[in-house]
Structure 1
């Protein structure tokens, strides 16, 4: 292909679903720092003693004293210890988020399922449109790969633009927008490649899930023949003690009680692995006796399983402290600007031949914008409430 043909392909790829790509970049950037946005918005999201170990027994005692008759669904202490520990609670047959200081168990506040982090995650993940929305969003990875491949072919001797001073930005001057588009695109190229590859995995994963092809570690065989025990499920503190005895190097950050008697308690944590999400390391426990049914270690994962547990931390930069999340957010903002600049450049390029902005945007652009507005409304209303399990195998506090 000639340079002109590569340019036309590059321009088409950027315009065809440019609005959707822009919205996905913006929502993803905000989602990266969504918990930090909550942290700044309300004191209940802020831990007090961020450098101390998690006191799960104290957390359970606080919940029992403040919410008698409730049951714990899930406990999570974030990787960023400055964030409050979250407890998902079944209280009066309704869902409730409770926020506590992980080190002391001190109550910090409560809230519903609807919150900034949940809203942004749902909208970014699938526009709250289920299977179709997930397909739309993940398919953008193909577009990104197309842009990544064509960019060096469009801009010959592209390396010369790394330190070229761009012109002052003018809303009506296409060449000025092009200068910034090239400069920021070059410096963000590595990030765009990461987003394209992780997005491509999400697309593959969506296909595997749709086809019901197993692609993750199977639960331990002991779960299939788990002995059913009557009695009170073990306490949160005992859960953690049993898990740490079975997996001494596990730094427990999450506990999930099962929704029926055929499932196990899952204890999740870190094990000094690099680029693995929380569920990569876990211990399965029998809910009543606390007997160990299985141990999964991130270091033992196969390549396919490791890719699955690496995609999220790499996509959102949530694999270290605040520093990596800020780096991801900055480059996410640059990527959003690049998308927006590409749309402006395309409009300015065809403005003389097609002076109508609406005609340039086209039927597909209008339809896509309407879809995005609809998805915003659906996201808002769909996460107003969350149902709780009818049966929960957890202690009644």
Structure 2
């Protein structure tokens, strides 16, 4: 292809759904620091102690004292210890978040399902439009890949531009915007490549899930056998402290960060954590426990994952940069903002080139207009739906009770 053809392809890819691409880049950037935004907005999201040890006995004591008759859906302590531990409760048949200090069990506050992190997650992940929204968002990774590849042909001798001083930005001077577009684009190449690759994986994963093709580790046979056992109404579920003790006996190096109860007595309790693995999300390491006896039904270790499962559990840490604390989160945020700027300036430069010849509507075209409408609709739908969270009618978790 000739240089002009590459330029046309690059311009088309950036403008085809440019508004939507910008929104996905920007919302993803905000989502990377969504919990930190909450941390700054309200002290209930801030842990008191940065200790890595989680005191589940103290957590249960606080919950028993404050929320008698409630049931625990799950407990989640973030990888970043400065964030409060979240406990999701079924309380008076409604969903409730309780925020505690993970190391001491100190009560910090409570809230509903709706919060900044949930809004940004729903908006970025699928525009709050379910299956079709997920398809649209993940398909943008292919457009991003086109932009990435074509940029090497559009910017001749690109390797010389890393330290080229850009001209002063002037609102109506297209060349000044082009200088910054190129400079930030060059320094963000590695980041754009990571987003393209992980986004393409999400698209493939979405297809595999839609086609119901198994691509993860098969669950232990003991879990399937447990579900075949008739539910014993007289059985009593074990408390969190007992379950974590049983899990550590089976998997001593597990840094437990998540415990989830099942809906029935024939569903296992799932305990997740980290195990000093590199670039693996929380779900990679698990212990499955019998809810009434604490018998270990299965253990999954991230170090033993097959290649496809490993890719699946590595995609999220790479995509959001949450694998090494606040440092990598900030790096991902900086380059996410740069990527958002690149997307916005690409559209703006195109508009400056043609604004004297065509109207804004004609410049946007059918695709640009549809993308704009979709973005507006997604904001409205997300604003309406992100606070909705029902609790299961049945939950096999011990009812909290005031300590005597």
The TM-score bracket by the shorter chain reads: over 0.9
In structure 2, what is the equivalent of residue 66 of structure 1?
66
In structure 1, what is the equivalent of residue 206 of structure 2?
206
Q: C-alpha displacement at 1:52, in angstroms?
A: 4.3
In structure 1, what is the equivalent of residue 112 of structure 2?
112
Tell me, yes or no, if the aligned pair for 1:112 and 1:385 is still in contact at 8 Å: no
Tell me, yes or no, if the aligned pair for 2:237 and 2:265 is still in contact at 8 Å: no
Tell me, yes or no, if the aligned pair for 1:59 and 1:105 is still in contact at 8 Å: yes
Q: 1:276 aligns with which of 280, 289, 297?
A: 280
SS at match of 1:263: coil
Q: CA RMSD in A?
A: 1.0
CA distance in 1: counterparts of 2:155 and 2:376, whole angstroms = 35
Tell me, yes or no, if the aligned pair for 1:14 and 1:342 is still in contact at 8 Å: yes
Q: C-alpha displacement at 1:383, in angstroms?
A: 2.0
In structure 1, what is the equivalent of residue 303 of structure 2?
299
CA distance in 2: counterparts of 1:259 and 1:334, whole angstroms = 44
CA distance in 2: counterparts of 1:282 and 1:367, whole angstroms = 43
In structure 2, what is the equivalent of residue 256 of structure 1?
260
Alignment pair present for 1:231 and 2:235 = yes
1:53-202 map, 5 Å: 53-202=53-202
Moved more, 296-305 or 221-230: 221-230
Q: C-alpha displacement at 1:50, in angstroms?
A: 1.2
In structure 2, what is the equivalent of residue 362 of structure 1?
365
Tell me, yes or no, if the aligned pair for 2:27 and 2:120 is still in contact at 8 Å: yes
In structure 2, what is the equivalent of residue 378 of structure 1?
381
Q: Which runs of at least 4 in structure 1 moved beyond 6 Å after TM superposition?
A: none
Structure 1 pair 296/52, CA: closer, same or farther in 2 (3 Å)? closer
Tell me, yes or no, if the aligned pair for 1:62 and 1:105 is still in contact at 8 Å: yes
Q: 1:247 aligns with which of 244, 251, 263?
A: 251
Alignment pair present for 1:49 and 2:12 = no
In structure 1, what is the equivalent of residue 29 of structure 2?
29
CA distance in 2: counterparts of 1:283 and 1:150, whole angstroms = 46
Q: C-alpha displacement at 1:67, in angstroms?
A: 0.5
Alignment pair present for 1:335 and 2:335 = no
Deviations 1:228-272 (A, max 9, x none): 554210000001000000000101011000122332100000000
SS at match of 1:396: coil
Moved more, 115-124 or 356-365: 356-365
SS at match of 1:225: helix
Q: C-alpha displacement at 1:296, in angstroms?
A: 0.1
Q: C-alpha displacement at 1:357, in angstroms?
A: 1.7
Deviations 1:59-79 (A, max 9, x none): 111111100000000100000
Deviations 1:162-190 (A, max 9, x none): 00000001111111111000000000000
CA distance in 1: counterparts of 2:365 and 2:287, whole angstroms = 53
Deviations 1:128-156 (A, max 9, x none): 00011000000000001101111001111
CA distance in 2: counterparts of 1:62 and 1:258, whole angstroms = 22
CA distance in 2: counterparts of 1:157 and 1:368, whole angstroms = 33
In structure 2, what is the equivalent of residue 217 of structure 1?
217
In structure 2, what is the equivalent of residue 346 of structure 1?
350
Structure 2 unaligned regions, length at least 5: none
Deviations 1:273-312 (A, max 9, x none): 0000000000000000010000000000001000000000
Alignment pair present for 1:312 and 2:312 = no
CA distance in 2: counterparts of 1:303 and 1:317, whole angstroms = 21
Using structure 2 for the length normalisation, give the TM-score: 0.97
Q: C-alpha displacement at 1:361, in angstroms?
A: 1.5
Deviations 1:66-115 (A, max 9, x none): 00000000100000000000000000000000000000101000000000
**Matched residue pairs, number?**
396
